[in-house]
Amino acid sequence: FDPLGLGADPQRLKYYQEAELMNARWAMMAVAGITFTDIMGIGGPWYEAGAADYDFPVPALLAIQFPVMGILELKRIRGWLATGKSGVNEDFPWDPMGMNSDTMALKEVKNGRLAMIAFVGIVVQAIVYREGPVSALMDHVTDPFGCNMATNIMNIGSTFQ
């Protein structure tokens, strides 16, 4: 099923699959990090992290982050052009636990897709209700009929006031 024809070119399809995998890995890390910090109560709500005042100046952070991320992305693209893989796997050929099997690759894609959907849900929840995933779950568990999707949809108008 490909109504937009994105898989018409096999080379582009491989690139899209690799891009999906990279986004899935970021989403898995984000969902795990958001959930962990919400459970542990570390540093306040995750969606207010950008508003916090840190001792590290932003220009210095950007001066470090852009070159480091640029080098890593350049390495990934060069690896992709040379091997058709993300440019990371060939650095770690030692695989004692069999993580490079087809079964594990399928599990990674499935869990990554689930994490991307979960991340969108967490972001929407933070925008609409200004709370993290664990506190929203606890609200629902304590009052399942008063705090659920149907009752919360009725309150969306108050979010934008």
Separation CA 58–CA 64 (nearest Å): 10
pLDDT in tens, the chain (161 residues): 788 888 888 888 888 888 888 899 999 999 999 999 999 988 888 888 877 777 888 899 899 999 999 988 888 788 778 777 765 555 555 566 677 788 888 999 999 999 999 999 999 888 888 888 998 889 889 988 888 777 777 666 555 55
Which ranges constitute the DSSP H helices of 84-161?
102-129, 133-142, 149-153, 156-159
Binding-site residue set for chlorophyll b: 25, 107
Contact in structure between 39 and 134 (CB atoms under 8 Å): yes
Contact in structure between 29 and 120 (CB atoms under 8 Å): no
Binding-site residue set: 20, 25, 107-108, 111, 113, 125, 140
Binding-site residue set for chlorophyll a: 20, 108, 111, 113, 125, 140
pTM: 0.77
Residues whose CB falls within 8 Å of the CB of residue 83, separated by 6 or more in sequence, listed in order: 90
Q: What is the CATH number of domain 10-51+100-159?
A: 1.10.3460.10
